[in-house]
Amino acid sequence: MFRTSLRSSLRIVRPSAPAALAASRLVAARRFLSDDARAQIQKAVTASPMVLFMKGTPDYPECGFSRAVIQILGLHGVPADKLKTYNVLEDPELRSGIKEFSEWPTIPQLYVKGEFIGGCDILLGMHQSGELEDLLEKNEIIPKVEESSEAPAS
Amino acid sequence: MFLKSLHLTFRTYSAMANSGPVESSIRSKLTSLLRPTSLVISNDSWKHRHHAAMRAQNGGSGETHFSVEVVSSEFEGKTTIQRHRMIHTTLSDELTQGLHSLSLKARTPAEVQPTSPEPQ
């Protein structure tokens, strides 16, 4: 998106110097994720059992896909203290850095115990198949549902 | 030869009339990568014209948000993430040049039509 604006500002000379400057910085960040930036992101993805990079905040999502992920996590009763969210709209470097880190081109991105799980489509699929619940339980993000259907107590 | 080029022109023209260059490019790249048994591409860009990121580029090109439903045997034995990554890699040029959002449903023919018939 920023690259597009850079391109158009190069082709048609528009008075949008700050945008072009920001864009060139982003392009650089995109191509050369420094060791320092990578280390910072590594730290961020492990800052909490569950980490979500999104647009906006859980209370005010600024993108339908981010909103959908928050809703899915809400359905599973993920407690706030187990989930840390980063608003990539507030941090252009994080926004491009996280894409390079995960080699995944879109936001939102969910991490569990530092491992990249997926974006909105993947989470929705996992939610529908029951995989997400298993994952959350296995990682002790939500408590296991006690089921006594297999061996009813006598 | 003349007929062939006329045909080609017509095809190009009709493709352009129905879909933009990004959509055409998504279609041709996914077709050659996946040889899909089904490929449905919908352009959802109009739904997102007013969101912040699109406002920043004057509403976008009209080809910023797509949903793709693709069925291909190339996905067999691959996780969802691996399937999505195949598609992302193929469309990396589009994704860095204005394609802002790509919603994917990538299934194998077997996943579309479960093989075990359900007893009635």
Q: Complex ipTM, two decimals?
A: 0.73
Is A1 close to B57, i.e. CB distance below 8 A? Answer: yes
The Cα of A48 is separated from the nearest Cα of chain B by a number of Å equal to: 22
Given a cut of 50, is residue A56 above it in pLDDT? yes
Q: Is the pTM of this model over 0.90?
A: no
Residue B85 in 3-state DSSP? helix
Mean pLDDT of chain A: 82
Give alpha helix (H) positions in B50-108: 52-55, 80-90, 92-96
Tokens of B45: 């860009």
Query: How far is Cα A117 from Cα A152, in angstroms, rounded to an integer?
Result: 35
Residue B65 in 3-state DSSP? strand
Given a cut of 80, is residue A31 above it in pLDDT? no
What is the total residue count of chain A?
154
Which residues pair with residue A128 across a beta bridge? none
With contacts defined as CB-CB under 8 Å, which chain A residues touch B92?
Answer: 105
Q: What is the pLDDT along chain B (120 residues), one digit of tens a residue?
A: 555 555 544 444 444 446 899 999 999 999 999 999 999 999 998 887 777 667 766 666 789 999 999 999 999 999 999 999 999 999 999 999 889 999 999 999 999 976 566 565
Tell whether B49 is within 8 A of chain A (Cβ): no
Which residues pair with residue A112 across a beta bridge? A50, A115
A29 Cβ partners below 8 Å, 6+ apart?
A: A37, A93, A96, A97, A100
What is the total residue count of chain B?
120
